[in-house]
Structure 1
Amino acid sequence: MTHKTILLVTDANEHENDLTAAADLCTAVNAHLSVLLVKLAAPPPLGEYAAMSVAWLDERAEDIQQLDEAVERARATLKGLEISFDANGIYCETAWADNDVGSRARYADITLIGASLRTDTPLRARAIDGALFYSARPVLLATNRHSLTLRPKKILLAWNSTMESARAAREALEMMESAEEVNVVLIDPDAASTKNGQEPGADVATYLARHGITVTVDRLPSAGRRVEEVLIQHAIDTSADLIVMGAYGHTRLRERIFGGVTKAMIEAPVVPVLMVH
């Protein structure tokens, strides 16, 4: 789909590089940049007189002031870049951050999670979950190593015949139509009519080809490696600009306890990743 509004979620500190990268991304596709600076509220103290803690109230007041100042700095930076933008901040409890981010993300075509959030694990996890589960919009994970683009030349589509991967393919359809090459990758595919069909990858390749997309299908063995390791290495080997994949084919609880491809790709994206739940 055409991207006209891009939401950047970042924190109140160390967000300058994210602003620049997001502004460049919006300039390239003539999109509006909506910036959401998030500050997680200081947790309340514990103890008999916790509710009356002056130090805690002072800390929250200082946090809010820092957030307001960060918003003003972000607006000043973006004004100098001459793009269409808005910038706002929210000070929220950790438990509600995903809902707050998700409610804002519903009014954007895509949510960008900047590379700087790698240093703020709680906020990053909440922001990604909120955008994925409460906005019905795709999430783009940035990295420090690759420049961001919504017009990638080479795309790796991670395919496992799930609804999540189908949604991801549909959301990225316009990008794939303008790409030079789309590599559909299946790891240890099961050739069964109830899963991937007798020729795994053929159905989705045919679907994409009808949209005029140049497609190659790679069925790769894991050979004892984790699925995410195979995907990342193949993306590097094929010089992919973007990995497109479905997110959380299993429940979040199961992913967090036992691990999973989504969790691993979120924690350490080497190539920019577009995720859709």
Structure 2
Amino acid sequence: MQAKTILSVIGVDQNDDDLHSAIELCRESKAHLSVLVTALAAPPIGGYGEVTSTVWIEERERQTESLGRKVAATKAVLKADDISFDVTSLFTEYGWAENEIGERARYADLTLIGGGFLTDDDMRQEILNGALFQSPAPILLVPKGYAASLRPKTVLIAWDSRNESSLAVRAAMEQLTAADSVCVAMVDPSATIGRNGEEPGADVATFLARHGVRVSVDILSSGGRAVADVLRQHAVDIGAELIVMGAYGHSRVREWIFGGTTRSMLEQAPVPLMMTR
């Protein structure tokens, strides 16, 4: 994926770590940085009495003022760097956040979500849902302590022979062809003609090799462990700098209520994660 526009979603109360990470990524990629400063409006509290309504209105005014200050501060940081950028703000209700974030993400090649949002329980799910489900663009999730980069040397592909995995591979093709090593990892695959073929991983490896990707296939046994745990450990074992995977093999509701590989990887990514729905 060649990114010309990168959307970075940041929160009002975050420090500038995610912003600086986005700046470096755009400088490396020679991409335009579009920053969306986001605040979720405080919900009504208490009953409908006059005092409660006044408190609620005052709180929303404080939030709006904080959002304005964060936008101004963000612009000041960006003006000091020699990159192309724009800054917009989003002050929205919880029920609307997903759709509005998705709308912004549709006009970017990549949505960057940094470690600041990953530790924000209130906003994390809304941001991820919006970026993944309301936009075709991939997301790059970067945990705290890692640098955002679109030039990884070692990449792990979480492969399960489904359309979601195939779309993720295509979205990351530029990164895969440039990498020194790409590992296709499959956990407990079944060797069936209708699913993985007689030799699981062979088809996708051949497809990637024809694109010039230096690829290998690792068949992993779960040993009763969760698939996400196996993938995380293997990423660490091979020194992966990026994990590429598709989002949501099951229904979205089932994933969020009962858990699943997608949700687990989003919540505990061991290294930067590029994901596409």
Preserved CA contact (<8 Å) 1:44 1:50: no
1:35 aligned partner, one-letter code: V
Q: What's the offset of the Cα at 1:46?
A: 3.6
Preserved CA contact (<8 Å) 2:2 2:174: yes
Q: For structure 2, list consecutive stretches of 5 or more residues without a partner in the other structure.
A: none
Q: Which residue of 2 aligns with 1:258?
A: 258
CA distance in 2, matches of 1:48, 1:195: 57
Q: Which residue of 2 aligns with 1:45?
A: 45
The CA deviation string for residues 119-169 of structure 1, in whole angstroms up to 9 with x for no partner, is 321211111110111111101111113221101111100000011000000
RMSD over aligned CA atoms reads 1.2
1:240 aligned partner, one-letter code: A
2:100 aligned partner, one-letter code: D
Q: What's the offset of the Cα at 1:48?
A: 3.7
Q: Which residue of 2 aligns with 1:113?
A: 113
CA distance in 2, matches of 1:57, 1:48: 12
Preserved CA contact (<8 Å) 2:150 2:175: yes
2:24 pairs with 1:31 = no
- Structure 1 segment 21-170 matched on structure 2, within 5 A: 21-49=21-49, 53-170=53-170
Secondary structure in 2 aligned to 1:254? helix
Secondary structure in 2 aligned to 1:90? strand
Preserved CA contact (<8 Å) 2:46 2:52: no
CA distance in 2, matches of 1:118, 1:185: 25
CA distance in 1, matches of 2:231, 2:127: 24
CA distance in 1, matches of 2:157, 2:115: 22
CA distance in 2, matches of 1:191, 1:258: 27
Preserved CA contact (<8 Å) 1:143 1:270: yes
Q: Which residue of 2 aligns with 1:10?
A: 10
Change (3 A) 1:121 1:129: same
Secondary structure in 2 aligned to 1:53? helix
The CA deviation string for residues 76-131 of structure 1, in whole angstroms up to 9 with x for no partner, is 00111221111111100011101010000001000011111123212111111101
Preserved CA contact (<8 Å) 1:44 1:51: no
Q: TM-score, normalised by structure 1?
A: 0.97
CA distance in 2, matches of 1:41, 1:92: 6
User: How many residues get paired?
Assistant: 277
The CA deviation string for residues 156-187 of structure 1, in whole angstroms up to 9 with x for no partner, is 00000011000000000111011111100000
2:41 aligned partner, one-letter code: A
Which range moved further: 146-155 or 118-127?
Answer: 118-127
Q: What's the offset of the Cα at 1:52?
A: 7.0
CA distance in 2, matches of 1:259, 1:198: 30
CA distance in 1, matches of 2:101, 2:51: 27
CA distance in 2, matches of 1:98, 1:71: 20
Q: Which residue of 1 aligns with 2:228?
A: 228
The CA deviation string for residues 10-63 of structure 1, in whole angstroms up to 9 with x for no partner, is 101123000100100010010011100110000012424379711110110110
The CA deviation string for residues 176-218 of structure 1, in whole angstroms up to 9 with x for no partner, is 0111111000000010011111100000000000001110000
1:179 aligned partner, one-letter code: A
Once superposed, which parts of structure 1, at least 4 consecutive aligned residues long, lie more than 4 Å away? none
Q: Which residue of 2 aligns with 1:196?
A: 196
Q: What's the offset of the Cα at 1:258?
A: 1.6
Q: What's the offset of the Cα at 1:2?
A: 1.0
The percentage of aligned residue pairs carrying the same residue is 48
Preserved CA contact (<8 Å) 1:145 1:270: no
CA distance in 2, matches of 1:262, 1:189: 17
2:169 pairs with 1:176 = no
